[in-house]
Amino acid sequence: MVNEQEEKRTKEHDVITEPPAICRDKKILESGLTFKKAYMKMVEGKKIARPSFNGWWFMDKYSRIIIHDQYDNEIQNGDITITVTNTLANDWEVIE
């Protein structure tokens, strides 16, 4: 019975959608960057992203890092563990 309930719950919550064109069609200008190098690109006004995340990061005119999801929504409150993990990655991309 527990397995049937778990299976039903999993099926109800597993909604697979194709990423919107805004992310699917992103043009990669540079790849394989550490966060330090990607951060410097943000300082220059570029957007950065990771292949495993359909959104992107950029720096606004007040030097705040803004994170957008795949639907172009600004992420207000994120999981700090995920953010720290992202900053340790070395697969950052500069995108258009």
> For 47-77, how does the pLDDT look when each residue is reduced to its tens digit (9 = 90+)?
999 998 888 999 999 999 898 888 888 887 7
Residue 17, H or E segment = none
Instruction: List pLDDT tens digits, range 12-29.
Output: 444 444 444 445 567 899
Cα 77 to Cα 82: distance, rounded to the nearest angstrom: 11
Q: What is the pLDDT of residue 88?
A: 92
So what's the pLDDT on residue 24?
Answer: 54
pLDDT value, residue 58: 92
H/E segment holding residue 41: helix 35-43
pLDDT at 25: 65
pTM, entire model: 0.70
Q: Which residues 6+ apart lie within 8 Å of 91 measured at CB? A: 31, 32, 33, 50, 51, 52
